[in-house]
Amino acid sequence: MKMPSLVILVVERGWQKSRDMSLLLIKKGLSVDILIKGFAEKHVIDMITPYPAISIKFLSIFWFKPVLFCQVIIGAVSGKLKAVIVEGKKIKKWIYIISRIMRFGVFLVNDESCNNI
């Protein structure tokens, strides 16, 4: 059985847009990893976690970029990574450089093109 393609959502401020995007993506049969910079209270975590195709990781500012980099490289090398969706143009820049070498899409969360993943 083929593993579902993976989409990584990168969240630096607020998680609602990424949450809505992840629900759209799992309906398309994709697996979603959400990497969130910072932490949330338990009731927030309980509210946003109940889908098996969505993995949510809250990361400290110190670990955010190294973990993101590792997730992107591992996903790309394994062949599962289909796209990375980011909020900010700063992070998009360096992920885009990796994407040119490893062949996956990079999108801003507000882009209409995200719907075509």
- pLDDT of 2 > 60? The answer is no
| Tally of domains within the chain | 1
Return the pLDDT at 31.
Answer: 93
List the domain range (segments joined by +) for residue 47. Answer: 6-116
Judged on CB neighbours under 10 Å (0-12, 13-18, 19+), 107 is: buried
Mean local confidence (pLDDT), 9-38: 86
Does residue 1 lie in a domain region? no
Where residue 89 sits, what CATH number does that domain have? Answer: 3.40.50
- Does residue 48 carry a pLDDT above 70? no
CA angle 87, 92, 96 (to 5 degrees): 150
Name the pLDDT band for 14 (thresholds 50, 70, 90).
Answer: confident
Report how far residue 81's alpha carbon sits from residue 33's, in angstroms, rounded to the nearest whole number: 10
**CA proximity to 12, closest of 45, 38, 46:** 38
User: What are 76-109's pLDDT values in tens digits?
Assistant: 999 999 999 988 778 888 898 889 988 899 988 8
Q: Residue 114: pLDDT above 50?
A: yes
pLDDT computed for residue 1 by the predictor = 44
pLDDT of 46:
75
pLDDT band (50, 70, 90) for residue 19: confident
Q: What is the mean pLDDT of the chain?
A: 85
